[in-house]
Amino acid sequence: MSKSEYVIRFSGLKEGIHQFNFEIGKTFFEQLDYSEVQNGELKVNVDFEKKATMLVVNFEIEGKVELMCDKCTDDFYLAIKGEEELIYKFGEGETNDEKIIMIPEHEIEIDLTHPIYELTCIVIPSKRVHPEGECNQEMLEAMDNYLMVEEDEVEPSDDTSEDEEKSVDPRWAALSKLKK
């Protein structure tokens, strides 16, 4: 699989709607050096509408991506689904709208690799955890044990002098009262 697989050469297409389908897998994500997703099985359907002065591209993506669980750090597959529309306008200059991309008049093709990757990232939720009950319990217990040891080491000793307690920032003192 190469990037050219996701390039649409529109110069030979008639005006109107054209459909393209892409299968996205591990090699797609491996070619992107900056990708936080390393594996996935996605289907991307693209409705590509060619007009005289612009191209309207509608993406539908569905499948699953492999991610690291935020809770237990094991990898798992997360089902994702999403839609996006981009407009490619012919002309020079910049636009403030992130949905509109300016392309030169003489351009004959567009590469959809980056938009497909961006849509994949957008539909991934910010909290990435296994479904309830599927986290690695051994890892969770190991993290709990580590956190308990750390808290024990940080706790102040009982023989702390009153002068040291008075020099504590009042905001932290209030939190210490909650801890006791």
Output the average pLDDT for the chain. 84
Would you put residue 46 in left (φ > 0), alpha (ψ -120 to 50) or beta? beta
Q: Look up the pTM and report it.
A: 0.73
pLDDT at 152 over 50: no
Amino acid at 136: N
Q: Give the confidence band of 176 by pLDDT, cuts at 50, 70, 90.
A: low
Other C-beta atoms within 10 Å of 116: how many? 19
Do 158 and 180 meet the contact criterion of CB atoms below 8 Å apart? no
Q: Tell me the average pLDDT across 118-145.
A: 86
24-46 per-position pLDDT tens digit: 999 999 888 888 888 999 999 99
Amino acid at 58: N
Q: Tell me the average pLDDT across 11-19.
A: 93
Q: Specify which residues 23 forms β-bridges with.
A: 43
Amino acid at 116: I
42-59 per-position pLDDT tens digit: 999 999 999 988 999 999
Q: Tell me the average pLDDT across 51-77.
A: 93
pLDDT at residue 177, rounded to an integer: 66
How far is residue 167 CA from its own chain's centroid? 45
DSSP character at residue 3: G
- C-alpha distance across the termini of the chain, in Å: 60
Q: Specify which residues 87 forms β-bridges with.
A: 56, 100
Please identify which residue in the block is written with the tokens 């909290």. Answer: 127
pLDDT at 2 over 70: no
Q: Tell me the average pLDDT across 60-86.
A: 93
Closest CA to 118 of 35, 180, 42, 175: 35
105-125 per-position pLDDT tens digit: 899 999 999 999 999 999 999
Closest CA to 99 of 53, 145, 56: 56
